């Protein structure tokens, strides 16, 4: 990983939160159509000429790193659809100040990419897996690729990528009956499981059947004798519990029922260079015009602080569930 910067600045927003985590979208395209994300038949993807080039991405991430950024997660859409994404990963891995490089994926491409990703410096991955039932899985993602995803998941494990986290969006009447089965599967194979509450992002997310995770948490804690843990498992918003032997972890991400806005440490960059300061708000800052308009490094540094200054205190998912019209893939994971 890139060299540390002992005298690095600190990115602090107006609410006193330290921001050290960038979720970086390298494409808004995806080869699946998950029911809570991209609508079937959607055609409104960003034009390729608007995508940040790898040189622009590297320059921008380096600027964030100068200001205190430590963690970068490659997201999408499906990031493995971006040509030569492992080359970008390698470049970001070597940047001074970046100490944690990870990737979120649906795993359809992982058989081919697991070893190159590990070689490029990606140490951790999150895999979206909402069902272990082939029929239910196809219903959620829109394609019959369950076996492909499972092969990719175990290819990543064989490549030495660790930890591997499984993300399950729990939806009432869709997959909520599989909670125990998914927990058993992940604990058996050494994957960290995170249950996620569906968020009202765009038309698809607003139609998802949100389940407050408190409904399933107590049963999981009792069944698997889980204990709360404060272990640092990647800098994200999950609240983790672990088995008595400390070998298995289950996390709960609750943006709806118990929001974690007070401890938010992240911002999101879309493929076109738009920095979104919050998933549940419209606050944003456009970096592409600066990158293509001759901005100096000092200009970028100043722009980053200008952007962070507009980060809102919290989202309004409960108060205004119809507010966010953009899809999750347009924001970036």
Which residues are within 8 A (CB) of 238 and not within 5 positions of it... i.e. 6 or more apart?
194, 251, 252, 253
pLDDT digits (tens, 9 = 90+) for 260-292: 788 899 999 999 999 999 887 888 999 999 999
Residue 309's CB: how many other CB atoms inside 10 A?
A: 12
For the stretch 146-176, pLDDT in tens is 999 999 999 999 999 999 999 999 999 999 9
Neighbours of 243 (CB within 10 A): 15
| Full domain range(s) for residue 318 | 21-331
pLDDT at 206 over 70: no
pLDDT at position 193: 97
In a domain, 8, yes or no: no
Count CA within 13 A, CB hemisphere, residue 73.
Answer: 24
- 5 in a structural domain: no
DSSP calls for 245-288: TS--EEEEE-TTTS--GGG--EEEE-TTSEEES-TTS--EEE-H
In a domain, 197, yes or no: yes
- Of 312, 260, 273, 208, give the one whose Cα is nearest residue 58: 273
Domain membership of residue 2 (yes or no) is no
pLDDT at 211: 84
Residue 320, domain CATH: 3.20.20.70
Instruction: Determine, yes or no, domain membership for 46.
Output: yes
Question: Is the pTM for the entire model greater than 0.75?
Answer: yes
The beta strands (E) that lie in 120-163 are given as 124-128
| Residue 283, domain member (yes or no) | yes
pLDDT score of 271: 97
Residue 10: inside a domain: no
Query: Alpha-carbon distance 307 to 284, whole Å?
Result: 7
Q: Which pLDDT belongs to residue 153?
A: 98
11 found inside a domain: no
Write out pLDDT tens, residues 8-49.
589 999 999 999 999 999 999 999 998 888 777 888 889 999
Number of domains in the chain: 1
- Output the average pLDDT for the chain: 89
């Amino acid at each position: 990983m890139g060299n540390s910067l002992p005298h690095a600045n600190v990115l602090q927003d107006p609410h006193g939160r330290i921001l050290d985590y960038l979720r970086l979208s390298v494409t808004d395209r995806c080869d699946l159509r998950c029911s809570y994300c991209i609508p079937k038949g959607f055609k409104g993807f960003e034009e390729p000429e608007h995508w940040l080039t790898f040189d622009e991405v590297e320059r921008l991430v380096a600027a964030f790193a100068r200001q205190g950024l430590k963690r970068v997660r490659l997201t999408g859409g499906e990031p493995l659809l971006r040509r030569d994404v492992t080359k970008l990963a390698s470049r970001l891995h070597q940047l001074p100040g970046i100490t944690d490089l990870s990737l979120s994926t649906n795993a359809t491409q992982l058989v081919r990419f697991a070893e190159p990703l590990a070689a490029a410096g990606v140490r951790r991955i999150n895999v979206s897996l909402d069902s272990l039932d082939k029929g239910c899985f196809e219903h959620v993602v829109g394609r019959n690729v369950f076996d492909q995803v499972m092969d990719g998941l175990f290819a990543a494990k064989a490549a030495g990528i660790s930890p591997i986290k499984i993300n399950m969006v729990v939806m009432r009447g869709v997959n909520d009956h599989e909670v125990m089965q998914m927990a058993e599967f992940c604990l058996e194979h050494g994957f960290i499981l995170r249950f996620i509450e569906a968020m009202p992002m765009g038309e698809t997310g607003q139609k998802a059947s949100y389940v407050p995770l408190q409904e399933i948490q107590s049963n999981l804690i009792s069944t698997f004798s889980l204990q709360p843990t404060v272990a640092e498992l990647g800098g994200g918003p999950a609240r983790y519990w672990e088995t008595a032997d400390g070998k298995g972890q289950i996390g709960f991400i609750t943006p709806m029922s118990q929001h974690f806005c007070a401890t938010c440490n992240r911002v999101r960059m879309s493929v076109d260079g738009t920095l979104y300061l919050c998933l549940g708000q419209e606050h944003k800052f456009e970096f592409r015009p600066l990158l293509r308009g001759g901005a100096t490094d000092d200009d970028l540094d100043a722009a980053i602080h200008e952007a962070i200054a507009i980060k809102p205190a919290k989202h309004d998912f409960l108060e205004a569930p119809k507010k966010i019209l953009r899809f999750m893939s347009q924001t970036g994971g």
